[in-house]
Amino acid sequence: MEVLDILDVTVIEPRFKHPTIFDKFDSLLAGEAFIIHNDHDPKPLYYQLLAERGQAFVWDYLENGPEVWQVKIAKKTEAENVETIGEIVAKDYRKAQVFKNLGIDFCCGGKKTIAEVCQKKGIAPEEVERQLAAIKGENANSESDFQNWDLGFLSDYIINTHHRYVRDNTAFILEIAQKVARVHGDRHPELVKVAELFERIGNDLTLHMIKEEKILFPFIKELAQVYNTGGLLPSANFGKISVPIQVMDSEHEQVGGDFETIRKITSNYQLPVDACSSYTILFKKLEEYENDLHRHVHLESNILFPKAIQLEKELS
């Protein structure tokens, strides 16, 4: 039976908790593990580990509340360190269509590997790899240019393209969703849930974008400016850039989860025979909105954020 060290985080002074856990993780050899014991869900630590150590670890809940949480954290071996879905799509956006066709989230769920997602969804990994391999022989397009864009320019592009799309379309879709729920909700009760979920999505994204535009993106643009022209590394009251990024990634997952629920309860936006024109417009706009969100989150979580973290490290 495997015997692992248990790190009781509850007895550590708050400001030393994460540094202590990181020191413990860094001291592990490949394949070794330890357990953290906590009195609340340590999910913020998960995002910080992802931001600062990448996919170098395995996170396994042994006990999941409500009073005690225990998580086994293992350092991956070299053989286990494979590309995530997000990294695959960041290198070649054409492959996003393969994941989309198979119902695999490549943006909000992009931190997972193919093996992890296939196990959860009951999909054969060999089939995913086969479809991805078929893309290699096709001509690449300009999607790969995002990898080479200046981070300040990419930040502005996200704001002017995807943030603008959200602001231009959210109120309109919410109005239709609430109208369709009132008219058809008695025969199709899932529409009431759709309206509730989309209202939450709109509110969450509105606050999310404000935080990005007022705090995170300006700092990323400062990093890019220093890298391009020289100067001092900018300081911020949030410390390392990985801190706000882990919050943004967490919020991406929340919105992505809500849209996954919408897609599930609408059977992938399948219209019933009694659907009116407003019903039809609603489903078309929801799918359009979700597609834009996938591109939006992909550019942030799979390209902009990892590059910003790496740039900060280089400048430090």
The pLDDT score that the predictor gives to residue 138 is: 52
DSSP assignment letter at 186: T
99: nearest Cα among 90, 162, 51, 76: 90
**Which pLDDT value is given to residue 117?**
81
The CA-based dihedral angle spanning residues 34, 37, 40, 43, taken in that order and rounded to the nearest 10 degrees: 0
Q: Name 20's Cβ contacts closer than 8 Å, sequence gap at least 6.
A: 7, 9, 12
pLDDT at 269: 96
Angle of helix 242-265 versus helix 43-53 axis, rounded to 10: 110
Which pLDDT score, from 0 to 100, does residue 27 have? 92
Q: Which helix (H) or strand (E) holds 30?
A: none
pLDDT tens by residue, the chain, 316 residues? 567 899 999 999 988 998 899 999 999 998 899 999 999 999 888 878 877 787 788 888 999 888 999 999 999 887 666 778 878 887 777 887 888 888 887 776 667 788 888 887 888 888 888 888 877 655 555 455 788 899 999 999 999 999 999 999 999 999 999 999 999 999 999 999 999 999 999 999 999 999 999 999 999 999 999 988 888 888 888 888 988 998 999 999 999 999 999 999 999 999 999 999 999 999 999 999 999 999 999 999 989 999 999 899 888 7
Decide: pTM greater than 0.85.
no
110: helix, coil or strand? coil
Report pLDDT for 137: 56
User: Residue 96 has what pLDDT?
Assistant: 79
Report pLDDT for 70.
94
Domain ranges of the chain: 6-79, 82-141, 149-315
pLDDT of residue 90: 75
Q: At what angle do helices 277-297 and 164-184 cross, to 10 degrees?
A: 150
pLDDT of residue 56: 83
Among the CATH numbers 3.40.50.720, 3.40.50.1970, 3.30.110.40, 2.40.30.10, which is that of 6-79? Answer: 3.30.110.40
SS (H, E, C) 134-176: HHCCCCCCHHHHHHHCCHHHHHHHHHHHHHHHHHHHHHHHHHH
